[in-house]
Structure 1
Amino acid sequence: MKPPFNYRKLAYAALDVTDLDASVRFYRDLVGLDLVQQDETVAFLRCSRDHHNLVLYRGAVPGLRRAAYEMAGAADLEAAFEFHAARGLAPRWLDEAACRVLNQGRTFRVREPASGLTFELFDRMTQLALPYRHTVTKIARLGHIVVGTPDYDAARARLMDDFNFAVSDFVEGRFSWMRCYPNPLHHTFAMGLSERRHLHHVNFMVTDVDDIGEAMNRMKKAGVEIVFGPGRHLPSTSIFLYFLDPDGMTIEFSFGMEEIPAGNGRLPRMLEMHPNTMDIWGSSPAPRFGKGGAIGDGDD
């Protein structure tokens, strides 16, 4: 049975960071996000009219706290909750106070057991009056989140069967690029086989190929470690640059992405396990690429 609900988009990533002030400076001044609000324990940043597209929490262990998706509407949110409950996933609604803190409408969280990742689903978010203003990088949107898990096959099946994620491309038994149906972007989530559960990277899509080159030089001047690229991915065709945040978590800028329309899009492609699948230009990632960051418990 196909899950009876649809998504609008990937809305935000929530990260645990060990030094909140240092991370805010990094994501604001070097990545180019707009700081919306901050207190001693949490900071909300954006790259759109949404109240937030990245939430940073002060934490002892850096990592991905949760991945949040906006549903197509209130009926889709209700259907998702009922479907997840029927599948034994024990979804839980946030109370009104917690939703107000997040500037969101009705919201629930549910843990995908094979990856350990908490997903947050909601129907609306506060829209800010002033548009997001580009500073150092012309960010188009939060693009995708990628994780690793030793229970790859089980997690892949669960995301397809219970979360209504559609596979765009895959490396057999190793990696899947997935879109939140019917969003057409080649992937808003991806997952790979790994020895442990961990964050691989968080991506922001940029509007101009020059943003990639400018970011490379800006990061080098700031002493930020570049761990992969510039290069071009085979699966999505995007040009990429990966670098590390202050906690060693991998962040990606990418330009360009294939779109697969709902209903009449192509079938998933099986890609070969070859270095050129990740970069058709032939570069290789550094040892720290995609290694930093745990999978957190999901709650505030």
Structure 2
Amino acid sequence: MISLLDVSYVRLGTRDLEGATRFAVDYLGLEVSEHRKRTVCFKSDAREQTLCYFEGDPADQAVAFEVGDKTDLDMAAAELERLGYAVRSGTVSEAAARHVKGFIAFRDPSGNGIELVYRPANSGKRYRGSRDAGITGFSHVGLCSSDVTRDEQFWTKVCNARVSDRIGDAPLLRIDEVHHSIALFPSDQTGIQHINHQVETGDDVMRSYHFLKERGVPITFGPGRHPTSSARFLYFEGPDGMVFEYSSGVKSIADELLYRERQFPFEPTGFCHWGAKPQIRQFEN
């Protein structure tokens, strides 16, 4: 079994690197950690990068997960190849650009770009956002799934994820005590469905709601409160149609023996305890 320790970063292609950078800094509230040729890296916590925009096709996306060490990475590559996945080992220069010691790349059963990395770099400096969005760190991703039952089997049988709750057939998966690091949503598309950053308080969620709304950023869901994770949330649209989320107060699951997954309806009440209705295609019936 491949043991995932944490969700590490997201890489996103864009046709407008300058515009994407401006959004990440001025609206999302991230800090530029490095400019490279045709690439800009951003940080949202002590790690050297948690988001990277690069010049390219917006459909070219990847989400990375950390494993323990080089031995774990090699074992993961061998297991994936045994199961029939095409695995590519990253070059030294590619690893340096990702601020990791080494990585492999493959596609999950739905075709989403996945990278497994070891020894991601910490900056040694606190994150200092360009605006006070209250961000405490990069937290989780939603992934599009052409078959959530099949994909759940991959993440829970090949990897070490566990189901925390379900919204309809869509599983919310944890790899540590945080309620979920991966969410799988039925879709006829491939790619990252949304990107989450945790913020310190519900007040930060509301401040960003007004900040973004006043500047014409499309609000796609919320403010609201998830009945699954208990988090207060706000979803909004960024460059190339990518959906970003702020949330605060996400539930922790410390007792694996006592916790039992719960079932919620795949309708607005399953997504929001307060009655907000999503304008996100993968959240709609």
**Fold shared per TM-score above 0.5:** yes
Aligned residue in 1 for 2:118 = 123
In the alignment, structure 1 residue 249 sits paired with structure 2 residue 242:
yes
Aligned residues: 283
Distance 2:51 2:235 in 1: 17
Q: Name the CA distance, whole Å, in 2 between partners of 1:9 and 1:106.
A: 15
Query: How far does residue 262 in structure 1 lie from its aligned partner after superposition?
Result: 6.5
Per the normalisation by structure 1, the TM-score is 0.88
Residue by residue, what CA displacement relative to the aligned partner does 1:192-243 show, whole Å, maximum 9, x if unpaired? 1123334321111111211111101110121111111000011111000011
Give runs of ≥4 in structure 1 deviating > 4 Å: 287-291
Report the CA distance between 1:276 and its aligned residue. 0.8
> Which structure 2 residues correspond to residues 129-140 of structure 1 after superposition, within 5 A?
129-134=124-129, 135-140=131-136
Q: Give the letter for the 1:144 counterpart.
A: H
| Offset, 1:104 | 0.9
Point out which structure has higher relative CO (alpha carbons under 8 A, 6+ apart). 1
1:37 aligns with 2:34: yes
Identity %: 27
Partner of 2:138: 142
Structure 2 residue aligned with 1:196, among 180, 189, 192? 189
Cα distance change of structure 1 residues 123 and 246 upon mapping to structure 2, 3 Å threshold: closer
How do 1:96-175 residues align onto structure 2 when only pairs under 5 Å count? Answer: 96-113=92-109, 115-134=110-129, 135-172=131-168, 174-175=169-170
1:49 aligns with 2:13: no
SS in 1 for 2:121: coil
Q: Distance in 2 between matches of 1:161 and 1:235?
A: 23
Indicate the RMSD between aligned Cα atoms, in angstroms. Answer: 2.0
Does the CA contact (< 8 Å) of 1:227 and 1:288 recur in 2?
no
TM-score (norm 2): 0.92
| Uncovered stretches (5+) of structure 2, i.e. residues with no partner | none
Q: In structure 1, what is the Cα distance between the partners aligned to 2:249 and 2:49?
A: 23
Which runs of 5 or more residues in structure 1 are unaligned?
292-300
Q: Distance in 1 between matches of 2:63 and 2:96?
A: 18
Question: CA 1:264/1:164 → structure 2, altered by over 3 Å: closer, same or farther?
Answer: same
1:276 aligned partner: 269
Q: Which residue among 171, 174, 179 is the counterpart of 1:176? A: 171
Q: Contact 1:147 / 1:198 at 8 angstroms: preserved in 2?
A: yes
What residue identity is the alignment partner of 1:37? Answer: E
Do the aligned partners of 1:250 and 1:290 also contact (CA within 8 Å) in 2? Answer: no
After TM superposition, the structure 1 = structure 2 runs for residues 9-24 of structure 1, keeping only pairs within 5 Å, are: 9-24=6-21
Instruction: Give the superposition deviation at 1:54.
Output: 0.2
Q: Which of 219, 222, 242 is the aligned partner of 2:212?
A: 219
- Paired residue type of 2:199: V
- Note if 1:206 corresponds to 2:206: no
CA–CA distance in 2 between the matches of 1:50 and 1:94? 20
C-alpha separation in 2, matches of 1:164 and 1:287: 28
